[in-house]
Chains A and B, each alone.
Chain A
Amino acid sequence: MKSFWKAVSHQRNAMFGLAIVGVFILMAVFAPVLAPYNPTEQNLEFALQGPSAEHWLGTDSFGQDVYSRMLYGARLALGIGFASVALGLLGGLIIGLSAGLLGGRVEWALMRLVDAILAFPEIILAIAFVAVLGMGTDKVVYALAISFVGPFARIVRSDVLQVKARPFIEAARLMGVSPFRIIVRHLLPNVLSSLMVQAGIRISTAILLESGLSFFGIGVVPPTPDWGLIIAEGRGFITMAPWISGFPGVALALLLIGLTLLGDGLRDAFDPRSGGH
């Protein structure tokens, strides 16, 4: 945590990104307190109203409060983003560690499996899995997680191979430290920093993919307050009521920009492979 702060506080862009992401996290956490209305409460009497004192960002075609839906949308976007990346990370960690540590045929087989996952563009893989699993918030999380397993596994394996060759691991082994302890105490901490950077960068991909799938109508199902869904719904009213898709769209764009700035900053600070950007 300390090194995270040290790395970020030196970079103006990363600080800016952190501020944006921080605001959205606050919005997500305090959505129930901040939202003046129930995000899924329909009131056709007040449909398609422009921004006013009662409805700060106006209402949509079902009379739902756009501001409340936008707040809960931040919750959903960040929630799906974190959950899918965490799951993908876990899967990648298990595959990558097994491959890097066991070696031999296991490694060969696991890495060919990873190659196969990586052979699919992530959006196609996500769409295919949603097609089989069905739609809904949890299904979207699984579909995204599966498409992230490949890249994470590859990073973990190459990191493990690098760290394994370093003298201090050999020293620990010669001292009779148990393999499990070597993995947890010595290997993982050295693999984790570059992995965290990658995870941070993937969260913006996850949020973009999630909102995209929902926008297509094959992701999260209505009336869940999801930014992609709201944008799709507001698209038909864009000349008449531009606020419906406008505010959630700007929110999505801002969050993605914030995450990108923060991710770039972290990569520059922690990942030696990225070179002199």
Chain B
Amino acid sequence: MLMNAALIKLLQTLLVLLIVSVVAFFFLKMAPGDPVMLLLGSEYSPQAYARLMHELGLDQPVTVQYLHWLGRFVQGDWGISYVTRDNIFKQAVLQALPVTLSLATLSLLMALTLGIPAGLLAALFRGRWVDGLVSSLSVLGSAFPSFYLGIILIWVFGVELGWFPTMGFVRPWDDFWDGLYHLALPAITLAVYYTGLIAITTRSSLIEVLNQPFIAAVRARGEPMVRVVGVHAMRNVMMPLVTVIGLQLGGLLRGAVMTEVVFAVPGLGQMITTAVLSREYGVVQAGVMLTALFFVMVNLVVDQTYRFLDPRLRAR
């Protein structure tokens, strides 16, 4: 049964990806401007136009064009950028994606190391000033627009105090520490949003768990409070945490795009927005396709994580 459920889920995901590819393909078809004219420049003969149209396969039916495009896309042939003359696959997958991933991972780590203890404190001292502080800061953090926060952080910590670089970007895999140093401010900006969410979730689910009978039983057995919270209660907080992190993935990506643009971090968000501004629809299409692929995959992983975290689901 389990095998079947996983297989159906996988088939469904593949189907969704296929629909996504259709949407992305017609997106490029809808984009204003004629790709042939774009390639030929201002002066050309009708013969040259027809020849290029044939070479690009644009004289064929749309369905054939789509299949050709899909075939090339799957093989990693995503075309050439008009502006940088660079291979789009290389630009998107090998250059931009790892940057966005390192930004997101770093800020998620920051948010977890700060958010879980904060939520824990708030839950244990419920109703006291610590709780009030954590709860208000969480709302503030999760609601504050990240692009504006980024500007403030650059101004205060970059320009006025001079603690962090305000310009340039070093890839963490070229020089790890210098890379982290350059990623610090963007990652903090992005982490603020998630820290709030994680703290709120940890707090509310811990309060819920601590009220359950099995906690009373464990305490009655005389186990120290550290073990009660750390082992018995926290295990039950992992589920809602994974749910929130998974559900708010869109929020993380939104924040990542905004942060990248503000800090000029050369990730996917920066790539897509610059491409929109320079009307490079091929690059926009690649970026859209790539984020959707990634988004669907991560959601699939989050889904499977539930099974791992909650033994009750494995039986289904």
Q: Which A residues lie at the B interface, using CB under 8 A?
A: 13, 112-113, 115-116, 119-125, 127-128, 130-132, 134, 204, 208-209, 211-212, 215-218, 228, 231, 235, 238-239, 242, 245, 249, 252-253, 256-257, 259-261, 264, 275-277
- B281 touches which of A116, A131, A277 (Cβ 8 Å): A131
A228 to chain B, nearest CB (A): 8
Chain B min CB distance to A70 (Å): 14
Cα–Cα, bound, A209→B250 (Å): 12
Q: Chain B residues near A119 (CB, 8 Å)? A: 16-17, 19-20, 292, 295-296
The answer to whether residues A112 and B291 also contact, given A123-B257, A231-B147, A249-B151 and a CB cut-off of 8 A, is: no
Q: Is the CB of B204 within 8 A of A256?
A: no
Tell me the interface secondary structure of chain A in the complex: helix
- Are B281 and A235 in contact (CB-based, < 8 A)? no
B277 lies within 8 A of A132 (CB): no
**Cβ–Cβ contact A132 & B30, under 8 A:** yes
Complex Cα–Cα for A218 and B276 (A): 8
> Would you give 30 A-B contacts (Cβ < 8 Å), ordered by A?
A13-B139, A116-B16, A119-B17, A119-B19, A119-B292, A120-B20, A120-B291, A121-B254, A121-B295, A123-B258, A124-B257, A124-B288, A124-B291, A124-B292, A132-B32, A134-B32, A204-B143, A208-B145, A208-B254, A212-B254, A212-B257, A231-B147, A231-B148, A238-B159, A249-B152, A253-B144, A253-B145, A257-B144, A276-B204, A276-B208
Contact of B23 among A116, A134, A204, A242 (CB under 8 A): A116
A127 to B261, CA, bound (A): 13
Contacts of B258 in A (CB 8 A): 123, 212, 215
Q: Is B216 an interface residue (CB 8 A)?
A: no
Which B residue's beta carbon lies closest to that of A117? B23
- B155 / chain A contacts, CB cutoff of 8 Å: 238-239, 242
**Which 6 A-B pairs give the minimum distances between C-beta atoms?**
A116-B19, A260-B143, A121-B253, A123-B254, A257-B143, A131-B276
B:148-175 near A, CB below 8 Å: 148, 151-152, 155, 159
Known A121-B250, A121-B254; contact A131-B20, beta-carbon cutoff 8 A:
no
Cβ contacts under 8 Å, A123 to chain B = 250, 253-254, 257-258, 269
Do residues A127 and B250 form an inter-chain contact, with CB atoms below 8 A?
no
- The verdict on B62 contacting chain A, using a C-beta distance below 8 Å, is no
Give the chain B neighbours of A204 by CB distance below 8 A.
Answer: 143
Give the residue of B142, B147, B276 whose beta carbon is less than 8 angstroms from that of A127. B276
Q: CB < 8 Å: which of B23, B139, B151, B159 contacts A261? A: B139
**B28-53 CB contact bits vs A (8 Å, 1 = yes)?**
00111000000000000000000000
